Each structure stands twice: as C-alpha cells, then as structure tokens.
Structure 1
C-alpha cells in the first residue's frame, strides 16, 4: 500500500479559514503572515484522526484564489514562502502530509504572461499560452476574469511541470488539480509523468464532477479524482428516503475501485455543507458512516467536524458562507459531531484495507440499506442504516459481529439489526 492509502485529509480553504482580505493586497504592502496560524491546528487535525492537511489555494491571486497571478509566489494575504515552508516542516514533524491546490486550467487576468500578451499581442513570447476566441481569449465557464491556458502549448506544459516540481521539492506530498475535467487528458499525463521522474511518491487528485472518472487515472496519469457521484447520492438518497439511489451509487463506486481509490467527501469548499444539505439532522450519522466505511480516500472539510451550517449560493460572494474564518477557540458547539467523526475515523484507522474495499449490499428497500465490506484474513465491516421515521429491520450475513457505533447492535447469530427510526449501526468482524 502507498502512503496515500492511509491518508485521511482535513481540507482547509486558507483565505477563508485565516480571515484574509477579499482581494489582493495593494502593491508594496507587507505580507500578512497568516499561514503559521495553521500550525496550532495540526493537533486538532490529528485528534480528529486525520493525517493530511489539504490546503486550498495559497498562491498569489486576485480574489478567491482560483484566479492565480503567480504560481511561484505565496499570496501576500497568507504570507511568504518561508511561512509555507514552516507549516510544511511542522506538519512533517507530526507525521502530517500537506496537499496543495493547483489551478492549471485557467489564470487571473493579472497573470504576468497574460498581461504581456494583452500588451504585445502576437509578438509576445507568451502568445501561444492562451486561446484566441471571438476577438478576445477563451475564458472558463463564462467567468471573464478566468483566462484558459492553452494546453496544446509545450511551453504551458513546461511551466506547469516546473510549478509541480518547485513545491514538491519543498516538501509537499501532492496536488489537488482544480477543474481537472476541463483539461485534456494527454496534458495531465505529460505533466504528471514528468513530475514523477523526480517525485515518484507524489499523489495527484483531480477535481472531476462528472464523466469517465477512471480515464483520468488510466489515460491522464492521475492517482484519484473527486467522487461527486457518491457525494450526491449520499445526501440525496437520505433526503428522499431512497436507499436505492445510494445502493446504485455504491455499485458504481465498486467499479471505480477496481482501477483506483477515489477521493471521497461529504463536504468541500464548493458545495453546501452537509449539515445544511440534509433536511433531517438525524441523517448526519448515516452520511458519515458511509463516508468512513466505503472504499476511497476520505476528506473532512473544516467545520464539518463540528456540524457547521453553510449554504452555497449562485451569486457574487455566494461562497462566503461555506468558507468562513475558523475561530481561535471552537468551544463546545458541535462537540458531539466531532466525537462521532473521531469514532468513525477510528474504525477506519483500525481497518486500513477499507481504502480499496468494495461494498456488498444485503438489505435494500422500505427505507433500509445494509452492506458489508470484506478485507484480508477474514476481516469485515457491516453497516445497517434506517433512512425512515419508523422502526425497521436490516440484515447482513451472520458472523461474530462486534458492535462499534450506532444505537443498535447487529446480532451475531442472525445478522439482523432492529433499527429504531433513523437508526444506524456499524459492526466489525
């Protein structure tokens, strides 16, 4: 197993987490040394049961971080390269790996190479870095401030490879590749193959919302992609009291696991928080039980471990509610939710083979879903979920099940669990 098979990420959006300004600092202003403020939270990450810090954008940008202006410079709102190096070093000393967020599909309009093209046109040495379109340049999904890079340009591939190597050389363990779905697969194959020549252990996870997930691994050279199908099925099936949707998604998930371990989640910086997405608060344990038992490489979005609420809205500033500052003291709010995370992550830590395990569904229907996952040497995990508001019974194969979490035990003799309304159970063998 690779190191990434043991990874459980705590996902942080630094500009929001650290309360940074909404837009780039004026030229000449001193950097705000905020990144070191993340160091004390490494213990929180570890106490949660995670061992990886997945950072959102940290590079110089115009506003939200996904409008990069310099891939080789830390955003002054967050600090300096020395500040990032300090964070990476302190994380490494605690056994925590750091993942960076690379935006290589598009750049901000203030990006130096694009600024040169706007000044000099076809005579610019960077003229082939961008794609002319309709008298202007191609932009990303209608966002005029985000200019798409020309991924057919050898110079762009050289540049991205240099960025990957630069920060891998400085101790980060891998990259989340933003908008990976918008970039041609041969480009990803080229740059990741080059980066692996120097950094064979680097891990690359692509943001892929829909499409042929496996092709990003087999053709694009990535190690993983974001499992949005499973994310949607978890909250949607619970809200609709429709276990068939989740069972279908688990089947799809099994197919992916034959090729790679997807990056799994119930929350991230781009979606409504799971506590707000679920219409029934008593379904939160069900969502977490699925996240931490099914195959894949899970992540926890900061604040979700305390049951924070936040709704993403399709308007300017619509991400603010899901990307807030983290308080200096979390207090007691949501402590039960944090303990639930710790309990379920603990089960996964004791059964690391779950990363590649496929789910076998046993009970399905009438608001009930149960499944098992089998590991080496007879190890197994069983999950029984009651989506509905009336008592129900779920079953798995009979064996010496040990109760691990939930209100109800799974009977070792019969494999049955008598589930109360919204009940759930996790057992191991």
Structure 2
C-alpha cells in the first residue's frame, strides 16, 4: 500500500450526475466541457477536510458510465482529455489525490469490439474478448448469446481468461496513471477472477508502484481477496451496513460485532470505509432517527480504514435508491454551479464533517486503529480506538434518557458534547445527553 493513503479522506463525486449531463449519449454530439464544474468545487472539498477526489466513471459510455464504449476517451458529455488533466492538476495543486473508476468486468453493448462481433460473427478480430455462444447460427449479423453482468443485457461481460483482455486493461490503467491519476477503484471487482487481477495489477505496479488500487467487493472473504489479487483494499460493505442498521435498531451489539471483524481486516489491510456512495440510499435517508446522523459520521471518521465521503452527504442530502430504471437518479443529483448555490440547512452537517475530518487529520494513526469495547448495551457503547501507545474514546448514546458512561482516563472532549467526571483518572465517566455522542482524548 502506498504510504500516502494513510492521510487520505476521499470526497467521492459521480461526475455525470454532478454536472447534470444528459442521461444518454447522443451519437456524434459535440463535446461539452463540463469537468470544470467539478473543478469549481475543489476548494469546497479542501475546506471540508478531504485530501482526495474519487471520481466515478468519466470515460465514453452510452448511459450511466458503467457501460463503457471507449476507456481511452473522456465521455463527451463531460469534456475531453485536456479537461480531465486540468482537473487532476487543479486537484494536485490543492493537495488532493485523484482516484478513477475503472469498469473492467464488462463493457457497454455499443463497445466497438462487441459491435464487431454482431456484424462479423465468430470471425470478428476481438470475439475472444467475450464469452459467446451461437445457438442460432454463425452468419454475420446473427446475434450470439453472451455473458452479461448480473442480468443486465446492456453490460457485456469480458472474457477474463483471454490474454488480450488482460493486456487491454493494463494499457488502460497505465495510460491514465501516466497522465497523473493516483489510483483506481475497480468496479465490480468481486465478479472478476482473482488470478486475472493478480496478473494485471502486478504488471501495472511494475510501472506505477505508488498507485493505490481498491476493489469494489460487497461480500466474501475480504482479506483473502486482497491477498490473492494484489489490491491495496476493498470496500467495507459489512461495516456500512452495520452502522446504519445498528443505529436504526438501537442494537449496538451489531456494530460491536462488525467492528471486531473490522479489526481482523485491519490486520491484513486498511479497508475503504463509507456511510454513503453512488450505489446506496443516502445515509440521511437511511437513518430512522436524524439525531443519529452524527453518530454514523463519528464512527466513520474515527475508526480504522480509509474513509470516503460521498458528495452531498456532507450537506445531509437525501435520496433513496430504487430498483428500477432510473432508480439511481435521486442519489446522483446535479450540483449547483458553486457551493454558494447550496441550501442553507445543510451547512451545520458540513461543519460537523469539518470538525471530524480535522480530528482525524490530527491523528493519522487512526488509519490502522483497532477498536476495543469498554462498555456495551443495546443503546450505549464506549470504544477505545487506537493501539497500545495511543487511543481515543468514542462514546455513543441512542437512548431517550441521558446516561453516564465509563470513560477510563478521559481528559477532554475532542468532538461532540459531554461533561466529564473524575477526568484523567481510571474512574473517569462521561455524561451524555439523550442521543448524545462524544469523542474523548485520553
């Protein structure tokens, strides 16, 4: 893992939605230079406390960006290569690393290699790129059956046993790394064989050893996937689910259990942690009680891993993901031209993010910090977060009543609200209001 990742807090942007691009590419439509819209928000990201910009799909695609048709060309709805390079340079000038989203499990049905197959049949030069069968004949123009991603016929799965596909992915990754990108998110990494990733990533790292690679993995043996593929990290969906579920059910045993598993992952790698992203209902909509939004943010920004904040969550944007065509629209909205166009009611949550990111940046060792449960009931939890030499305490109360929680050696309140009794002693206790929380120094 590159050393620079230890200090990164990603601000994740879904570009096509953020800039208000058309939902579908329109053939030979002219290039519209919209990436400057994101560039206008970089100072906002820095003031938030972010140190990295994680971009969703930016390559030429037919619709939502995950149906790529040319990974060497910027989607004309966003701009061109010069626009992306300008965005990268502007981000770097502000100390922001840049992560790109690589869709290497599948391509869009309009990808030229698949169009060749439809037009030329099995003799197409790149037919081996795909998993095809021809039950209706092999004449040119006959459509084959083909493997697709999770039943989506517009997303044609690549044949990852083909050497040409591995060569193609290596060339894409190294091309954009050479232009200044700092790393890659591997979309649907869980759907691709570990052997493929091991080969590809070894070749990429031979040219770009300082690149950060994180795979989208929803479930499975996270540590084994990292070990077998050469990725630096995977997405921590287990912890994401436990955070909102435990808060909604007022069952902090679920969170404590997930954090124990998280400790095990941290022994092997530092997961990418989040409470929101472009694929899930926004955290402000997911939580049953808005008073628990600060609790979710405190967990994210104190616990080990590399945290990612989905653009808009820092303003308590709402949006529910639905399982239908267009069901992602509510969680991928257009943003105003500048932060000045945001509604006023989101800024207190932005300020809370600032306080928590500032705390994390003061304690960079939190990147690999483990948690230890000091006190646990359904509605109260006290965690020691750190290692043998340094740690903080995180105290949570989900109850309708105030509570007094054991907080050994706590000296001051670093974030949140609490009053301390016997501060600095093993008998120290923190008094929390109903639905209160606090991060305490020791």
Residues in 2 aligned to 1:409 and 1:360: alpha-carbon distance in whole angstroms = 22
Aligned-residue offset at 1:184: 0.3
Inter-partner Cα distance in structure 2 for 1:206 and 1:409: 42
Does the CA contact (< 8 Å) of 2:319 and 2:331 recur in 1? yes
Distance 1:288 1:134, change over 3 A: farther
Moved more, 43-52 or 418-427: 418-427
Deviation, 1:402, is 1.8
- Whole-angstrom distance in 1 between the partners of 2:387 and 2:361: 13
Deviation at 1:117, TM superposition (A): 1.3
1:288 has 2:297 as partner: yes
Q: Counterparts of 1:28-427 in structure 2 under 5 Å?
A: 29-133=29-133, 135=135, 136-328=145-337, 329-375=341-387, 378-396=389-407, 398-411=408-421, 412=423, 413=425, 414-427=427-440
d(CA) in 2 for partners of 1:156, 1:317: 30
1:182: Cα distance to partner? 0.3
Show CA shifts across 1:348-390 (max 9, x none). Answer: 00000000010001111141111011247x3211000012222
Farther off after superposition, 13-22 or 419-428: 419-428
Aligned to 1:11: 12
Partner SS state of residue 219, structure 1:
helix
1:151-199 deviation line (CA, Å, top 9, x unaligned): 0000000000000000000000000000000000011111111011110
Q: Give deviations 1:233-265, integer Å, cap 9, x for gaps.
A: 000000000000000000000000000000000
Instruction: Sort the Cα spacing of 1:134 and 1:240 in 2 relative to 1 into closer, same or farther, 3 A.
Output: farther
Structure 1 residue runs of 4 or more that deviate by more than 6 Å after TM superposition = none
Q: Is the 8 A contact 2:253 2:378 kept in 1?
A: no
Q: How large is the Cα RMSD of the aligned pairs? A: 1.2
CA apart distance, 1:59: 0.3
Structure 1 residues 133 and 139: alpha-carbon distance in aligned structure 2, compared to 1, 3 A threshold: farther
SS in 1 for 2:438: strand
What are the superposed Cα offsets for residues 275-304 of structure 1, whole Å, 9 maximum, x if unpaired? 000000000010001000000000100010
Cα distance in 2, alignment partners of residues 385 and 2 from structure 1: 32
Matched-pair contact (CA < 8 Å) for 1:295–1:355: yes
- Whether the 8 Å contact between 1:98 and 1:173 is mirrored in structure 2 is yes
Offset, 1:404: 0.9
Judge conservation of contact 1:261–1:297 (CA < 8 Å) in 2. yes
**How many residues are treated as equivalent by the alignment?**
426
CA distance in 1, matches of 2:9, 2:194: 26
Report deviation, 1:331. 4.2
How far 1:400 sits from its partner (Å)? 4.7
User: d(CA) in 2 for partners of 1:32 and 1:400?
Assistant: 55
Deviations 1:115-145 (A, max 9, x none): 1111112211211100025740001101010
* Contact 1:384–1:426 (Cα < 8 Å) also in 2: yes
Q: 1:243, 1:367 within 8 Å by CA — same for their partners in 2? A: yes
Deviates more, 1:169-178 or 1:359-368: 359-368
Give, in whole Å, the separation in 1 of the partners of 2:399 and 2:151: 41
Q: TM-score by structure 1 length? A: 0.97
Q: 2:141 maps to which residue?
A: none
Question: Could you tell me how far 1:105 is from its partner in structure 2?
Answer: 0.4
Which residues of structure 2 form unaligned runs of 5+?
A: 136-144
Q: Which residue of 2 aligns with 1:26?
A: 27
Cα distance in 1, alignment partners of residues 383 and 42 from structure 2: 34
Q: CA contact under 8 A between 2:174 and 2:204: conserved in structure 1? A: yes
Q: 1:252 to 1:134 in 2, by over 3 A?
A: farther
